[in-house]
Structure formats: structure tokens, C-alpha cells
Chain A
Amino acid sequence: MSTAQISLSRIRKVFSMGDVQVEALGGISLTICSGEFVAIMGSSGSGKSTLMNILGCLDTPTSGSYHFEGVQVEDLNRKQLADLRNTKIGFVFQGFNLLPRTTALENVELPLLYDRHRKNSDPRKSSIAALERVGLGNRLNHEPSQLSGGQQQRVAIARALVTQPSLIFADEPTGNLDSHTTLEVLDLFQKLNRAGLTLIMVTHEPEVAQYASRLVQLRDGQLLKDEAVCTPRDAATDLAENYCRGAA
């Protein structure tokens, strides 16, 4: 519970657009332990997505160092980074990023196609299991265009789960969802977290952040606040309450 899974030290990210330099991250140091549920908050443009992309090994920082489970990420080549993303990390994108005209099942199966270590002997079976876990067992052969936003988001979560990663990054996972679906996704996250998965979630909504156990606040690429949430809300209870209120 207390081993450092992720440790960032003075991470800077500068985007150059012609002769204009934008400093999206201005030296972030952060340690996240295995089993935490972290919410990263901040206003739009504060650098949340940039930070998540670096954490998810999708982008490289301009300077600073990044340790992931003891591995120095800067030293990895493209191939090793791909394997790290495939086996250790699940990523839920801000805009779902599902393959269009491809069924939910095939979308979820996709990461297993690139799993060289064959720890997954039956890709189809584990993909169906992942979809059932997010409550989409009856939507296996629907394409993204035939699914609602919440369902698409859950397909994306199933895709992140299917490789049994040790950590999931979710960038604004509830950004496009109504309050009820938001609660459902948060409930799922809390259940996964209680099962031992590390969760790092970006959000700009304070209500959503209350379900995490730790809150990290960014402003203009700087760490503003980093504190534990004393009493995180329980999504399952809130869901039940909502249901009672709807029935009354």
C-alpha cells in the first residue's frame, strides 16, 4: 500500500509553437503509491492532460525524471514503452478514443492483440468478462456509433481493464456524462480501487473529486495543493439514494 509506484521529479513540459513557448508543466514532483485513488484537479489549461499523457508514457517530458515501478522511463525505447503501456497501464481517454466501425468486443480485444507475453490465453473470453464487469455484457456487438456516451466510456474502461494492468489513468472520464452515469463510472472505479488497482483520474468537477482518496490540484502547470480526502464519498450509497429519490 505504501510502495511508491510512480515518482515524478521536477517534470517540465514546454510546447514550442513557432517562436512562442508554452510551459504546460513547470517542474512537478509527485509520488503516488500502489492502491491509491488520486483525483487531479485544475481549471482548463492548467496542464492536467499534459501530466496524464506523460504519466501514461504517451508523451515525454522536456526535462525531469519519471520512475514507474522502479523503471527509469526516460531510458526506455519506443518498443519498451509500447510494452509498458500494453501490460502495466490502462488508459481511459478524454474523448473515449474507440475505433470507429468496430464492435465493442473487438475494441476491448485490441490491447490483447499486442500482448506478446501470452499471459492471456483466451482474448475473447477475457474481453467478454471485462465488458460484463462494466455492465455491457449485452452490448458486445454494438459499434461505438450505436452506443450512448456513458456506454462508450464504459467500453473504453473495459479496454483499459482487459490487460489486467496495475494502474489506470482516466482523463476526464465523466466529462461527457450525466450525473447518474457519472456515479455509475465512479462506483466502478471505487470497486476496482478496492480490488487493489491504482487509479489516477483527471477532473475539473470538485463533486467528482470527492470520491477519490487523494486530491492533487494544478494551476498553470504548478502543483497548488496535494492533500488526502478525509472522508471520500461512496458512489454505491449515492447511487442507491438517487434510485430511492427517483422512485419516490
Chain B
Amino acid sequence: MRFRKLVLVALKSIARNKMRSLLTMLGIIIGVGSVITMVALGEGSQKDIEDNVASLGTNLLMVRPGSINSGGVRGGAGTRPSLSMNDVNRLEKNATLLHWVSAEIRANSQVIAGNNNWNTTVTGVAPEYLAIRNYQIASGSFFTDRECKTRAKVAILGKTVADELFPDQDPIGARLRIRNVPFKIIGVLAEKGQSSMGNDQDDIILAPDTTVLFRLSDGKFVNDISASAVSAEQMDAAKAELTALLRSEHHLAADVENDFLVRDQTEIIEIATSVTGTLTMLLSSVAGVSLLVGGIGIMNIMLVSVTERTREIGIRLAIGARPSDILAQFLIEAAILSLIGGLIGILSGLSAAWGIGLLLGVSAVINPTVVSITVLFTGAVGVFFGFYPARKAANLNPIDALRYE
């Protein structure tokens, strides 16, 4: 009852000076608005990246060859051809924590179909690749182990390749020539879109691993090995097992470092999100500074208000308001001022995040925890910066306050 009355008194005095109250809140509105916008967009793009990386595959482990190390001069990752089909076979045979294993043998080539031609990467893979990388077949069918054993000249087209080579024709059953080797098209992949790194995941042709290895490549080395761990919890164990198996296959002595690299999704996510994380931090600190400035604005206007209303304070004290009542009145007023600013800030921040997200094609995620923390925080800002003026009001001597002109 008393608290409700105090809130009403505060709302009345805020409403009495609408323009001034709004200007006072502006700092808080901008501060909260930018915090909310930043967090919503930051979390949204984080989520986008995670979704994207998840679309790379299920519990994915990627093995790449290590770097060349000749006389101390090291090449980049993948410069030393160190992976072979033997590694793939070894993993398939001995790994207990890997669900699926597939080689990736890539051959960049000009592909010709009828009058159309297109430059793309032909990747030789095992049938398991589909599951490892979360690809779906849109039409036709994928090849099986039998086609892999027989080095069959069959190909699966990504959406982009299918559109480029067969703009107005069903590619299933059609033929195309890759480096003068004729292939029969038996399937088309469902569209997957861009990866988080920005490359088109539909601009591919898949063919049996042995076919690409022996007909389009040198017959010895594979570019990458993709594997799928049995579960998300076993990722680390699977990674360790895979590393141990490959080291033994490569006959590496204990003191020799790996001649290959193993990456998992979390690392990929970390790399991709570290940039947005830094950006969010930076902008959040800017927002924090503007909240501080907003708080000082509230303190300033509350000091003005206390001076203006000295007589009112005197009257209240004279008729029996305790100093703590006056303190509460001005604290509540400051907190409400700040909270209203915070709520306006949240609303404008969310709409800004939504608008910018729409513009840039990023999702905006509304995090209820962040919103409620922001509400609590703005209330606290009001109380903190309102305290000094409120105490000044509460400490007034009734007769001096009454006599104030």
C-alpha cells in the first residue's frame, strides 16, 4: 500500500515533466538499446555459425595431411601428402569409436556435359560420406560399396553443378565427361547452402573414392579423411584413438610429431566465433559506458529535482515524513525513471536487432536472461545514481526546506 503510493507519486512527478524525463532517460535508452541489439545479434550470428558448422556433419572429425618440414622450413597445412587409402582402411578396420570413415580425394577439373561446361571439384568418397557430412539425396540414388570396389564411373551432382550443366533437363541418367573420362549421373544432392566460411557446399561432384583416386588422381594419396565419432560425448576419445591409429600406421616414433592434423567441430566453431565474440565485447563495453553516462544524467536531473522541490520536501517532513520516506520517494523515482528508460531501450534494441538482422541476414536471438538482467541492472543504475540526490533530500532540515525560496 505505502509502496504503491510511493510509486504513484513518483510516476506523477515523472509525468509532470515529460520532456525532461525523456531526455533524462535518453542515456539509459541508448545504453540499454545498444546492449540488447549487440547481444541479440551476437547470439544470433553465433547460433547461425553453430547451425552452419553442425551442417558440416555429425560429430565430425577431419584429418588433413601435416606440413612439409624440409630443413626447418615448414610449409602450410596439407602441403605434405601423408594420407593414403591404407589409413582409411586401417581406421575402418580398427577404430572402435568411429561410426563412419571416408576418404576425400579431390580433383579439380573442367566438366563437360553436352554443350555446357563447368569448373568444379570432383571428390572421391565412400558411401558413408553422405551420413558424415549430412548430405541428402534429392533425386536418384547414391553409389554403394560395390561401385567403390569396381571403380565405377558414376557421379552424384551438387545442386549448383546440376543447375549449371543441366539448366532445363533432369540430369539423372545423363552423361558427363570429367577429364575425358565419361561418367554416368546417378543422383543429385539436396541443396545445403553456404558454409560458415562462405563457400558453396553445393558446388561439388561426388564419385566413388577409388574411381577418383585411380582414374582422376595419382592413385596414391588422399586429400582428407572425414570420420564421424560414435557420439558427441566420445569426441575426444575418438580423436585420441584416431590419432593413435594413424601414428601407428605411419610408424611414427614416440618423439616424432604428428604428420597429420585432426580437427573437430568445436575447434571450427571456436575459430569462427572468436571474431564475433571480440566484436560483441567491444560494443558491449561501449554500451556500458553509455549506461554510466545515462546514470550520471539521472543523478543530475534528480539533483535539480530535489532543489526544485525543496518546499515540497519541507512540507512532507513537517507533516511527519521520516527521512527514510523521503529517501525512498526519490530513490523510487530515480529507479522508475531508469527502469522506464531501460524498458524503452529493450524494446528499441530488440526492434533494432530485428531490423538489422533482416538487413544483414543474421538471426536475432532474444535471450530472456539477458533481458531480465538488463532490467535489474537499469533499476540498480537508478538506485545507485539516485542515492546521492535522495540522501540530500532526506537530510534536509524541515524548517530550512519550508523556508526555501
Which residues on A are within 8 Å of B, measured CB to CB?
53, 56, 58-59, 78-79, 82-87, 91, 93, 97-99, 101, 110-111, 113-115, 159, 163
The reply to whether B320 and A163 contact each other, CB–CB distance below 8 Å, is: yes
Contact check, A85 vs B319: say whether CB atoms are below 8 A apart.
Answer: yes
Residue of B nearest to A91 (CB): B318
Instruction: Give chain B residues whose Cβ lies under 8 Å from the Cβ of A159.
Output: 319
Please encode chain B, from 1 to 15, with 1 for each CB lying within 8 Å of some chain A CB and 0 for all others. 010010000000000
Binary A-proximity of B304-324 (CB < 8 A = 1, otherwise 0): 000000011011111111111
Number of contacts between A and B (CB, 8 Å)?
60
B325 within 8 A of A: yes
Q: B333 CB to closest chain A CB, in angstroms?
A: 15
A84–B320 CA distance with the chains assembled, in angstroms: 7
Smallest CB gap from A53: residue in B: B399
Residue B146 at the chain A interface, CB threshold 8 Å: no
Q: How far is the CA of A133 from the CA of B399 in the complex (A)?
A: 28
The smallest beta-carbon distance between A51 and chain B, in angstroms, is: 12
Give the docked Cα–Cα distance between A82 and B396 (Å). 13
A163 to B319, CA, bound (A): 10
On whether the beta carbons of A82 and B323 are closer than 8 Å, the reply is yes
- List B contacts of A98 (CB < 8 A): 315
Contact, CB under 8 Å: A79 / B16: no
Complex Cα–Cα for A82 and B315 (A): 12
**Residue B341 at the A interface, CB < 8 A?**
no
Chain B residues with Cβ below 8 Å from A101 are 16
Q: A97 to B322, Cβ gap below 8 A?
A: no
Q: Is B66 an interface residue (CB 8 A)?
A: no
Chain B interface size band reads 20 to 34
Residues of B within 8 A of A53 (CB): 399
Which chain B positions have C-beta within 8 A of A85? Answer: 318-320
Q: Is the CB of B312 within 8 A of A99?
A: yes
| Complex CA–CA separation, A59 to B400 (angstroms) | 9
On whether A111 and B399 interact (CB within 8 A), knowing A97-B311, A99-B312, the answer reads no
Given known A-B contacts A97-B311, A99-B312, A101-B16, A110 and B399 have beta carbons under 8 A apart:
no
Query: Can you list 28 pairs linking A and B with CB atoms under 8 Å apart?
Result: A58-B398, A59-B397, A78-B323, A79-B322, A82-B320, A82-B322, A82-B325, A83-B322, A84-B320, A85-B320, A86-B320, A86-B321, A87-B320, A93-B318, A93-B402, A97-B311, A97-B315, A97-B318, A99-B315, A101-B16, A110-B315, A113-B5, A113-B321, A114-B321, A114-B322, A114-B325, A115-B320, A159-B319
4 extra interface residue pairs, beta carbon distance < 8 Å, beyond A97-B402, A110-B316, A110-B319: A53-B399, A79-B322, A82-B317, A115-B320
Chain B nearest Cβ from A54, distance in angstroms: 9
* 3 smallest beta-carbon distances between A and B, as pairs: A86-B320, A82-B322, A111-B319
B315: nearest chain-A partner, CB-CB: A97
A55 to chain B, nearest CB (A): 12
Q: How far is the CB of B2 from chain A (nearest CB, A)?
A: 7
Q: Is the CB of A59 within 8 A of B323?
A: no
Q: Is the interface of B mostly helix, strand, loop or mixed?
A: helix
Give every chain A residue within 8 A of B398 (Cβ-Cβ). 58-59
Q: How far is the CB of B278 from the nearest CB of chain A, in Å?
A: 52
Render B375-405 as a binary contact track against A, CB cut-off 8 A, 1 for contact: 0000000000000000000000111001000
B315 near A86 (CB under 8 angstroms)? no
Determine if A59 and B399 form an interchain contact, defined as CB atoms under 8 angstroms apart: yes
B5 contact set on A, CB distance < 8 A = 113
Residue of B311, B315, B325 most packed against chain A (CB within 10 A): B315
Q: Which residues of chain B (1-55) have a CB below 8 Å from chain A?
A: 2, 5, 16
> Complex Cα distance A114/B9, Å?
13
Closest Cβ of chain A: how far from B330's Cβ, in Å? Answer: 15
CB pair A114–B399 under 8 Å, yes or no, is no
What residues on A are CB-neighbors of B319 within 8 Å? 85-86, 91, 110-111, 114, 159
Determine which residue in A59, A78, A83, A159 has the highest number of CB atoms from chain B within 10 A of its CB, and name it.
Answer: A78
Shortest Cβ gap from A20 to chain B (Å): 18
**A58 x B318 contact (CB < 8 A):** yes
Nearest A residue to B397, CB-CB: A59
The A-contacting residues of B in range 221-268, CB under 8 angstroms, are none
- B286-338 contacts to A (CB < 8 Å): 311-312, 314-325
Contact in complex: A83, B320 (CB < 8 Å): yes
Q: Which residue of A lies closest to B324 (CB)?
A: A79
Distance in Å: Cβ of A109 to nearest Cβ of chain B:
9
Q: Which of B5, B315, B318 has the most CB of A within 10 A?
A: B318
A114 to B398, CA, bound (A): 15
**In angstroms, how far is the closest chain A Cβ from the Cβ of B26?**
25
Assembly CA distance A171 to B397 (angstroms):
19
Complex interface: chain B residues within 8 A of A163 (CB): 320
Write the nearest CB–CB distance from A123 to chain B, whole angstroms: 9
CB distance from A30 to the nearest CB of B (A): 20
Q: Which A residues lie within 8 Å of B397 (CB)? A: 59
A58 to B316, CA, bound (A): 12
Nearest CB to that of A100 among chain B residues? B312
Q: For residue B402, which residues in chain A have a CB less than 8 angstroms away from its CB?
A: 58, 93, 97
Contacts of A79 in B (CB 8 A): 322-324
| Contact pattern, B 75-101, Cβ under 8 Å of A = 1, otherwise 0 | 000000000000000000000000000
Minimal beta-carbon separation of B393 from chain A (angstroms): 13
Known: A58-B398, A113-B2. A82 touches B312 (CB 8 A): no
> B296 CB to closest chain A CB, in angstroms?
29
Query: Contacts of B311 on A, CB cut-off 8 Å?
Result: 97
Bound-complex Cα distance A110 to B315 (A):
10
> Which residues on A sit within 8 Å (CB–CB) of B316?
110, 114
Residue of B nearest to A113 (CB): B5
A residues less than 8 Å from B324 (CB atoms)? 79
CA distance A163 to B322 in the complex (A): 16
Least CB distance, A242 to chain B, in whole angstroms: 33
Residues of B contacting A99 with CB < 8 Å? 312, 315
| Residue with the greatest number of chain A CB neighbours at <10 A, chosen from B314, B318, B320, B322 | B320
B394 to chain A, nearest CB (A): 9
State the Cβ distance, B319 to closest chain A Cβ, in Å. 4
